[in-house]
């Protein structure tokens, strides 16, 4: 009896210690991820003020310089130069700003449109809900990146068109979450009471349904933001994204694919910058999703 009690206590202490270690590791990862994201935001906002170098001007005399080399103007190419003599560090800074702008604009557009459509679909139900869900099913039948390529290719290579193409491909998760919440909340007592009192349906959605959708929507936003950044880099890599007058990490990676054996730094640094940002956003998204999912299930 004493041995069994001792074993049980030891198992409990081990499980408690393991949970504590996981929490500490999770908090450490969260702090590191927030620091990384904050650093990217600072670089995107103030980097061009620090790196006084035009990332798209060609300097053929400085082409394919290794990291740390001295340029013909007497400066230092800390991360080397590409096949046209453009500074890779300056392209990283400009690419960070591009990714942040495109990601924020696209996820904002997709979120607002998706929440609006989902709330209307779930609250009104009937024919409107059926039509919207069939539209969603049809769009889900097409790969998101393929649809973005078609839209970007049809409307031309501008930042506005890229943002539009990415927003069109990423609104569905917001709509489905909003619809699921609206279907549940429309039968709650306070919603029924407001309906009996003659409150307009749009006011009921805004005041009594939308606040309960915001928590899961924020969690989805982090995931969609990272996916949009990767998609933008993919479009630019394929040559159907941003114009050559803009700088994108995808463009930089594509420009270095012919020099992987001789000038590995062109694609490597941009790829690392993209991967680190996406991983950091993913970790924060996981930390936000867990409590958000718990609150959503408890409704």
Q: How many independent structural domains does the chain possess?
A: 1
Yes or no: say if 21 and 49 are a contact pair by the CB < 8 Å rule: no
CATH number at residue 31: 1.10.3720.10
Its pTM surpasses 0.85: no
Question: Both tokens of residue 210?
Answer: 């939308």
pLDDT at 53 over 90: no
pLDDT at 7 over 70: no
Q: What is the pLDDT of residues 155-177, one digit of tens each?
A: 888 899 999 999 999 999 999 99
Question: Both tokens of residue 249?
Answer: 């990490």
pLDDT at res. 124: 87
The whole domain housing 24 covers 2-298
Instruction: Give the separation between CA 210 and CA 98, rounded to whole angstroms.
Output: 31
Q: What is the pLDDT of residues 194-237, one digit of tens each?
A: 888 888 888 888 888 888 888 888 888 988 999 999 999 999 88
């Amino acid at each position: 009896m004493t041995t069994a009690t001792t074993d049980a206590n030891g198992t409990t202490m081990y499980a408690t210690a393991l949970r504590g270690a996981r929490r500490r590791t999770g908090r450490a990862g969260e702090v590191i991820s927030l620091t990384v994201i904050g650093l990217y935001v600072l670089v995107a906002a103030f980097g061009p003020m620090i790196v006084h170098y035009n990332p798209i001007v060609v300097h053929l005399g400085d082409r394919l310089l290794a990291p740390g080399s001295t340029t013909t103007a007497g400066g230092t190419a800390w991360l080397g130069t590409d096949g046209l003599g453009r500074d890779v560090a300056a392209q990283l800074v400009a690419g960070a700003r591009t990714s942040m702008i495109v990601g924020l604009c696209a996820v904002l557009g997709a979120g607002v449109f998706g929440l609006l459509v989902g709330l209307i679909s779930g609250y009104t139900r009937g024919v409107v809900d059926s039509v919207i869900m069939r539209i969603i099913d049809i769009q889900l039948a097409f790969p998101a990146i393929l649809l973005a390529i078609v839209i970007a290719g049809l409307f031309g290579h501008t930042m506005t068109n890229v943002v539009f193409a990415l927003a069109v491909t990423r609104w569905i998760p917001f709509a489905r979450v909003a619809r699921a919440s609206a279907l549940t909340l429309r039968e709650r007592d306070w919603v029924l009471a407001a309906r009996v009192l003659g409150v307009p349906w749009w006011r009921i959605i805004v005041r009594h349904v939308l606040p309960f959708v915001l928590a899961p929507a924020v969690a989805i936003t982090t995931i969609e933001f990272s996916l949009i950044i990767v998609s933008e880099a993919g479009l630019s890599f394929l040559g159907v994204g941003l114009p050559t007058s803009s700088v994108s990490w995808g463009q930089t990676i594509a420009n270095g694919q012919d020099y992987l054996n001789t000038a590995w730094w062109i694609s490597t640094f941009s790829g690392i910058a993209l991967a680190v940002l996406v991983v950091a956003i993913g970790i924060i998204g996981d930390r936000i999703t867990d409590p958000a999912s718990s609150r959503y299930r408890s409704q």
